[in-house]
Amino acid sequence: MMIFITGGVRSGKSSFAEMSAIYHGKNEKRLHYIATNEHLDGEMDERIKRHQADRMNSGYRWKTWEQPRNIHELSDVYGKNDVILLDCLTNLVSNELFDGWKENRNQWEDELFRSGVFLKIMDGLRRLKKNSTAFIVVSNEVFQGLPCTDEGTFYFMQMLGKLHQQIVSEAHWVYQVEMGMPILRKGYVADEKQCTSCPV
Amino acid sequence: MHFVTGGSFHGKAKWVQEHYSASRVAEGWFNGYEDASWETRDFTTSLVVLEGLEQLVKKVVEENVIGGRAALRGKLKLWLDWEASEPDRRLVLIGTDIGKGIVPLEKENRLWRDVTGWFYQDVVMAAERADVIWYGLPQALK
């Protein structure tokens, strides 16, 4: 089963996602946290520490996996006794799409590379969905401002938008979190047809 | 007239293509990202889709620093008259919501954003049906 949770920055989507994971864990499944951010500078450190402390203090034992790229590599370590929370998709997309830019390898400029990244990420997500009892994906709302003029940002948004559309169509439950309040965008009823055909 | 809106990269055009069995590359589909100078004399099919309404707004506010909203209302009226003059005509307007980001630094971008929001209110008011597309899922406004 796949759950997709999206929202703006500081909307409370991570807390809601953690609650959902604990709920689906029912005190008997293992809880896994896939962190996709590469903390190369100090900017994210405090937030990472806060999220880690939250998970520690939640009274539940989480296992953290740092995986800024290639999430498909993790899929074999999980099974039907695992609940997985991936936080968040935007970092994963950025790390995959702009892989190599520091070494001046701007692969993202190549359309073939971009379509490969899309397929690779979707493949990773589908594997994690299959190899878990519940797979929760957290992502961000970045589509509400003026059209961007920067080419890299344009391709990033295009990729994230395409992924969101595909994930929403394949997810069983979809929530948009606004100021801590989850809004159910897609639920079981809308999804019954899909559930019969996919290996939940 | 049916107005379809939502944030960028949310599958608005895709949804319209599926909903109306229409094609983005066929006659009758006008793409504002290429050229937003739409005139009703170019409308030759019974279904007409105008995509990228915000691009038309951009063009209009560049030409009219004052009175952009009125100029757009005038265009909207011409389109609606075209639709109403034959019973089987259907007009679909697609516009990206560009109003939920940070206030733009540049005056012309603030004007573009403001007039787009006002124009969309006028469009929704005139529409028989309006939908917000959220990653492919439609939500009816009216």
CA B43 from chain centre, in angstroms, equals 15
Q: Compute the average pLDDT of residues A152-159.
A: 95
Return d(Cα A106, Cα A108) in angstroms, integer.
5
| Residues of chain B positioned with their CB less than 8 A from the CB of A11 | none
Rounded to a whole number, what is the distance in Å from the CA of A19 to chain B's nearest CA? 24
B7, B14, B136 ranked by CB distance to A144: nearest: B7
How far apart (Å, rounded) are the C-alpha atoms in residues A74 and A173? 23
Report how far residue B112's alpha carbon sits from residue B60's, in angstroms, rounded to the nearest whole number. 9
Residue A143 and residue B11: Cβ atoms within 8 Å?
no
Encode pLDDT of B10-31 as tens digits.
999 999 999 999 999 999 999 9
| Inter-residue contact B129 to B88 (CB < 8 Å) | no
Q: Percent of chain A, pLDDT > 70?
A: 92
**Distance (Å) of CA A84 to CA A29, A151, A189:** 10, 33, 23
What's the mean pLDDT in B89-93? 98
Q: B101 contacts in A (CB within 8 Å)?
A: 144-146
Q: Name chain B contacts of A141, Cβ cutoff 8 Å.
A: 7
Average pLDDT in the A168-191 region?
Answer: 86
B14 in contact with A at a CB cutoff of 8 Å?
yes
Q: How far, in whole angstroms, is CA A79 from its chain's centroid?
A: 18
Q: Which stretches of A109-189 are assigned E, i.e. beta strand?
A: 134-140, 173-178, 181-186
Query: CA–CA separation, A71 vs B26, rounded Å?
Result: 40
- For residue B95, pLDDT beyond 90: yes
- B112 CB within 8 Å of a chain A CB: yes
CATH class of A19-182: alpha beta
For residues B12 and A192, what is the distance between their CA atoms, to the nearest angstrom? 24
Q: Rounded to an integer, what distance in angstroms lies between the CA atom of residue A134 and that of residue A32?
A: 10
Q: A–B: how many Cβ contacts below 8 A?
A: 56
CB contact under 8 A, A147 and B104: no
| A143–B contact, CB cutoff 8 A | yes
A168 contact residues in B (CB cutoff 8 A): 134-137
Contact between chains at B134 and A176 (C-beta distance less than 8 A): yes
Contact call for A144 and B97, based on CB within 8 A: yes
Q: What is the pLDDT of residues A117-126, one digit of tens each?
A: 999 999 999 9
Please indicate whether residue B130 or residue A60 has the higher confidence score (pLDDT): B130
**pLDDT score at A145:** 85
Residues in chain A: 200
Please say if the pLDDT value at position A198 is more than 60: no
Interface test with A, best of B8, B98, B105 (most A CBs within 10 A): B8
Residue A195's pLDDT band, with cuts at 50, 70 and 90, is low
pLDDT of residue A99 exceeding 60: yes
A81 interfacial to chain B (CB closer than 8 Å): no
What's the CATH number for B2-140?
3.40.50.300
pLDDT of residue A60: 86
Amino acid letter, A60: Y
Q: Are A100 and A106 in contact (CB under 8 A)?
A: yes
CA angle A71, A145, B57 (to 5 degrees): 135
Q: How many helices (H) and strands (E) does chain B have?
A: 4, 6
Q: How many angstroms separate the CA atoms of A5 and A14, rounded?
A: 9
State the Cα–Cα distance between residues A191 and B10, nearest whole angstrom.
20
Q: Which residues pair with A94 in a beta bridge?
A: none
Instruction: Give per-residue pLDDT as tens, A38-92.
Output: 876 676 777 778 888 888 887 888 999 999 999 999 999 999 999 999 999 999 9
pTM of structure:
0.87
Contacts with B140 from chain A: Cβ below 8 Å: none
Does residue A1 carry a pLDDT above 60? yes
Task: Please report which helix (H) or strand (E) contains residue B134, including its range.
Answer: strand B129-134
Question: Can you say how many angstroms the Cα of residue B77 is from the centroid of all Cα atoms in its chain?
Answer: 13
Residue extents of the structural domains in chain B: 2-140
Helix axes A151-170 and A111-130, enclosed angle (nearest 10): 30
Task: Single out the residue of B112, B124, B110 nearest to residue B76, CA to CA.
Answer: B124
Annotated domain spans of chain A: 19-182
Separation CA B59–CA A194 (nearest Å): 43
